[in-house]
Amino acid sequence: MSRYSAAEIEAKWQAAWDTSGTFRAAHRPGQKKYYVLEMFPYPSGRIHMGHVRNYTMGDVVARYKKARGFNVLHPMGWDAFGMPAENAAMQSGGHPAQWTRANIAEMKAQMRPMGWSLDWSREFATCDEDYYGQQQALFLDMLEAGLVYRKAAVVNWDPVDMTVLANEQVIDGKGWRSGAEVERRELVQWFFRISDYSEELLSALDGLEDWPAKVRLMQANWIGKSRGLQMGFALTAPLAGHETIEVYTTRPDTLMGASFLGISPDHPLARALEGDRADVAAFCAQARHGATTAEALETGEKLGFDTGLRVAHPLKPGETLPVWIANFILVDYGTGAIFGCPAHDQRDFEFASKYGLPIPPVFVAEGTDEAPLREAYVPPKEQPVRYIRGFAGEAVQTGEAAVAAAIAECEKRGIGKGVTRFRLRDWGLSRQRYWGCPIPVVHCPACGVVAEKKENLPVRLPDDVTFDQPGNPLDRHPTWKHCTCPDCGGAARRETDTMDTFVDSSWYYARFTSPHAEVPVAQDEAAYWMNVDQYIGGIEHAILHLLYSRFFARAMIRTGHLPATCAEPFAALFTQGMVTHEIYRTRDAQGRPVYHFPEDVADGRLKATGEAVEVVPSAKMSKSKKNVVDPVNIVAQYGADTARWFVLSDSPPERDVEWTASGAEAAHRHLARVWRLADEAAQAGDGTGPGDADLIRAMHRTIEDVTLGIESFGFNAAIARLYAFTGTLAKSDAGGAARKAALRTLAQLMAPMTPHLAEEIWHLLGGLGLVAEAPWPVADAAMLARDEVTLPIQVNGKRRGEITVPRDLGTTDIEALVLADDAVQRALAGAAPKKLIVVPGRIVNVVV
RNA sequence: GCCGGUGUGGCGGAAUGGUAGACGCAGCGGAUUCAAAAUCCGCCGGGGCAACCCCCCGUAAGAGUUCGAGUCUCUUCACCGGCACCA
């Protein structure tokens, strides 16, 4: 009799899997494949519980699918480019490559003891020359296909990271990583033409049935499709080459309610006026400044400036509207100009009220008459309203119908055309950083922008760079950027921008199918392994990473790098919840919060001083709050199986799970109990016992439930069933043979979650080979059916008793038994039941 | 503001329209032990009752559909997430 020793068991079985190459994926054309992928990590140097949960979920799927006979691909790599490596170099010297490589080594050393069934032979880092070189090849092909272009653009400039950010990387006006207030600058930048795919990226969402509806909705909102009318308003007096002002509207049905025309301070006409008139320039400067401050955004005050210009109303001959410059109009949405319809748009209403402009209603609620408005009347588009200033369609119609009618009418009259617009903008990928994939082009004074030749790839990052000053080290490198033009051979300058790191993660899933290929993706491998059957990661990537990847897959199809079937690279997506922990806080002499690590706290007091701590409700583990538990410590204390078991139990995978010391303790206690049961069974004989049939029946029930649980991502429910079965096993008076069979099955069912313990038990009780390679147990349908069923008896829908009857007893017989039941007799009190409902095999309800 | 989601014991959470609270944590009682650790067994939503018989209440609140509602419909409230001068 010995004790459960995770440390011994886990090292042993990890070595066994390695030796037998259990998790090495090989292309086997005859076998059905299954590709499981978890979002690869940034090599920060430490794994955290979030990684443990994410990768354990993927591992459960991978191991389960393998047992079900699939040829499983379950790779791992590193999202290795990016700012933190450069920041580290700036702060403490050293080189980003060195820092990154060391982190990868350290993190891998923490990951391997977790026992995840990863094919490490496919490992790569995005900072490998091999990887980014192929990425450059992809880029060149995309450039040739017209999917990449350069333009001058007002960009979001992060003054702390000294780099450009994509719109998506600006959160509340601040850089997503640095948190610094973002500035606007005009720079020539590289862009991916993701907007070419707006319609397709939107409509294809419908086909992603195994994605969370939430994620699909978030992407649809992000793409932001709208249907409207684009039309020109003619200036009464042309100015600086402007004869008309183009306006986009989604509510052309409200055209008769227009009371002014508004343009953005950045609109070309405003800029033209700015040059001539100091008052306009002053206003525009104020409006631009105001729009970026947090205060202006919160108060949302509408500022306007009447230019004195006027435009003709296209539907009202002889009538004109004033042209205002307004701070709330965005230059880069629509045409940067609007017509204001204050009666039916709250912003326009506020604006018109402030500046005394008319507010004529276009429609009123059915059954009401025109009356002065105190706020804009904006009913849902599908609600019918009565048009009092309509010009197309019925007098009473829905907004939707009116918009369609208005577009048709305007097109007929030649005063505009229906257009579809998207909020999604092109993806700016230029970054003025060192630690990223160099953009493989050359600027030649004679030939212009020239693509690097593929045989010259990769364009390597130079090693000898310094980080002692802000800005782009590539740009100030003494020699790197000086090169010859691939076309004319003359002196030229290399592009010093590198790619946004989201590019790296937009195709890594495809590279895993052929990580060492001489081309970005080997077609036969991609054809076999793609698409990812199950992708697992955090909800925080719902928009950016997933949208970019969907675009990249399409771009790779267009450039011949992926088969046409790979447009949606992630067939199923699962977004897992976070790992949270209570926060322990005390206050220092100044009343500032001081946080404490969980291991320094016991029974609500600091171990060191005995001072009582304040317990703040659970939140995402974060270093700054010190509410973190290091997986390395947990593995050292309890073993990987305990950590794996615990992060899967307690909460449904999509929800947050709270890490508690007592929960981890309980998980470990349970695994030790299972081990003990196996150890006892191993020493028992092979005899029979009175509980054999019951135990085997319970075993089949458990196989069924656990299988369904895993299939449906109900890992917590599967684990609950395993707990229950362990309890049954412990109490069972079955003989040795049945106990051993039950425990071998238990080992198999636990193997996806606690693979090391499972191997140990499997081996101990005479299982053949590795449990990791054994086929999944199948529940015997005959064993699931009971000979007798217990039917609850309800009286008026409330449970009052139960009867146990043979499974196939007829309804009339059941009715007779029910009416004879004591509780029913009591409820009836001599009267006859109004109704008797028998749901065979389920329940009986007596209505009195 | 708009869109979406979630509300179940002290806590995390179970429950194809069919016995609400599986399983785990915490708590309580007991066995074992000289004692402890470890382990094992039992109890564990609220109220009534001498009572583990039984009765009443109970899944955020209110209404509805149904023989039967945590589950479906409507209204309200709270919390969480996403988007947000997007014309």
The CA R_g of chain A, rounded to the nearest whole Å, is: 34
A345 touches strand B (CB under 7 A): yes
C1' nearest to CA of A720: which nucleotide?
Answer: B23
For residue range A450-484, list pLDDT tens digits in order: 999 999 989 999 999 988 877 789 988 999 999 99
CA of A290 to C1' of B68 (A): 61
In this prediction, residue A171 carries a pLDDT of 63
The arithmetic mean of pLDDT across residues A85-103, rounded, is 91
**Span of A97-101, A369-373, A481-485, A653-657 with lowest mean pLDDT:** A369-373
- pTM of the model as a whole: 0.91
* 3-state DSSP assignment of residue A455: helix
How far is A482 from A477, CA to CA, in rounded Å? 9
How do residues A207-224 score in pLDDT, each as one tens digit?
998 999 889 988 998 999
Residue nearest to nucleotide B19 (CA to C1'): A792
Question: Is-contact A350 A262, C-beta < 8 A?
Answer: no
Give residues 303-332 of chain A lying near strand B (Cβ < 7 A): 327-331
Pairing of β A534-538 and β A498-499 = unpaired
Tell me which of A790 and A595 has the higher pLDDT: A595
Residue A609 has pLDDT above 90, yes or no: no
| Distance (Å, whole) CA A303 – CA A289 | 12
A809 touches strand B (CB under 7 A): no
Bigger pLDDT: A493 or A614? A493
Q: What's residue A169's pLDDT?
A: 66
CB burial of residue A277 (10 Å; 0-12, 13-18, 19+): middle
pLDDT at A755: 97
Q: Return the higher-pLDDT residue of A379 and A545.
A: A545
- Average pLDDT score over chain A: 89
Instruction: Tell me the average pLDDT across A501-517.
Output: 96
Strand B contact at CB of residue A566, distance < 7 A: no
By C1' distance from the Cα of A835, the closest nucleotide is: B67
Assigned token pair, A233 = 């308003």
Task: Check pLDDT > 90 for residue A679.
Answer: yes
Q: What percentage of residues in chain A have a pLDDT greater than 90?
A: 58
Our measurement of CA A274 to C1' B77, in angstroms, reads 52
pLDDT at A292: 46
Specify the pLDDT at position A145.
Answer: 96
Burial label for A324, CB within 10 Å (0-12, 13-18, 19+), is: buried
Provide the CA A17 to C1' B34 distance, Å, integer: 49
User: Residue A168's pLDDT is what?
Assistant: 59
Instruction: Report whether pLDDT(A703) > 80.
Output: yes
Q: For residue A331, give the nucleotide whose C1' atom is nearest its CA.
A: B86
Confirm if A396 and A384 have CB atoms less than 8 A apart.
yes
Of A199-213, A559-573, A753-767, A775-789, least confident by mean pLDDT is: A775-789
pLDDT-based confidence at residue A128 (cuts at 50, 70, 90): very high
Pair A360, A343: CB distance under 8 Å: yes
Query: Which long-range contacts does A205-208 make (Cβ < 8 Å, 24+ apart)?
Result: A207/A568, A208/A568, A208/A570, A208/A573
Q: Is the CB atom of residue A30 positioned under 7 angstroms from any atom of strand B? A: no
pLDDT category of residue A843 using cuts at 50, 70 and 90: confident
Contact present, A484 and A494 (Cβ < 8 Å): no
Q: Which nucleotides of B are covered by protein (CB under 7 A)?
A: 3-5, 11-16, 18-20, 22-26, 38-41, 54-56, 67-69, 81-83, 85-87
ipTM for the predicted complex: 0.93
CB A724 under 7 Å to nucleic chain B: yes
- Of A781, A775, A695, A789, which is closest to residue A739 (Cα–Cα)? A695
Q: Is the pLDDT of residue A42 over 80?
A: yes
Q: How far is the CA of A619 from the C1' of B80 (A)?
A: 13
Q: Could you tell me which of A802, A843, A806 has the C-alpha nearest to residue A823?
A: A802
Residue A291 has pLDDT above 50, yes or no: no
pLDDT at A438: 97
> Which pLDDT belongs to residue A720?
94
| Count of beta carbons in the 10 Å neighbourhood of residue A517 | 15
Residue nearest to nucleotide B25 (CA to C1'): A663
A516-556: pLDDT as tens digits: 999 999 999 999 999 999 999 988 888 889 999 999 999 99
- Contacts with A732 (C-beta within 8 Å, 6 or more apart), sequence order: A689, A691, A694, A695, A698, A738, A739, A742
Beta strands in A264-412 (DSSP E): 304-312, 320-326, 337-340, 363-365, 384-387, 396-398
pLDDT over threshold 80, residue A644: yes
Contact between the CB of A493 and strand B at under 7 Å: no
Overall average pLDDT of the A144-150 stretch? 95
Q: How far is the CA of A191 from the C1' of B35 (A)?
A: 76
Predicted pLDDT at A238: 85
A246 touches strand B (CB under 7 A): no
**Whole-number pLDDT of residue A831:** 75
Asked if A743 contacts A681 with a C-beta cutoff of 8 angstroms, the reply is: yes
How does strand A71-73 pair with strand A33-38? parallel
Query: Distance, angstroms, CA A219 to C1' B73?
Result: 29
pLDDT score, position A539: 87
Residue nearest to nucleotide B41 (CA to C1'): A731
DSSP for residue A388 = S
- Using a 7 Å CB cutoff, list residues 639-698 of A near strand B: 649-652, 655-658, 660, 662-663, 665-666, 669-670, 672-673
Separation in Å: B87 C1' and A623 CA: 43
In whole angstroms, B13 C1' to A577 CA is 15
- In this prediction, residue A824 carries a pLDDT of 82
Give the Cα separation of A440 and A497 in Å (integer). 9
User: How long is the CA A334 to C1' B80 vector, in angstroms?
Assistant: 33
Q: Is the confidence at residue A100, as pLDDT, over 90? A: yes
Nearest protein residue by Cα to C1' of nucleotide B4: A214
| pLDDT band for position A578 (cuts 50, 70, 90) | confident
CA distance A29 to A524: 10
Is the CB of A213 less than 7 A from some atom of nucleic acid strand B? yes
- Does position A61 have pLDDT exceeding 90, yes or no? yes
Question: Does residue A800 approach strand B to less than 7 Å at its CB?
Answer: yes
Residue A296 in this model has a pLDDT that exceeds 50: no
**Which band of pLDDT confidence, cut at 50, 70 and 90, is reported for residue A167?**
low
- With 60 as the cut, is the pLDDT of residue A163 above it? yes
Tell me what pLDDT residue A380 has.
Answer: 77
What local confidence, expressed as pLDDT, does residue A569 receive?
96
Q: What integer pLDDT is reported at residue A172 of this predicted model?
A: 61
Q: Which residues contact A481 (CB under 8 A, 6 or more apart)?
A: A474, A475, A493, A494, A496
Cis amide bond preceding A845, omega within 30: no
| Percentage of residues of chain A with pLDDT beyond 70 | 97
Q: What is the pLDDT of residue A842?
A: 82
Q: Which nucleotide does the CA of A539 lie closest to, via C1'?
A: B81
Residues 6+ apart with CB under 8 A from A775: A67, A68, A69
Mean pLDDT to the nearest integer, A167-176: 65
A305-330 mean pLDDT? 91
Which SS3 state, helix, strand or coil, does residue A309 take? strand
Give me the A residues in range 522-541 that sit within 7 A (CB) of strand B: 539
Q: Which nucleotide is nearest to A172 (CA to C1')?
A: B84
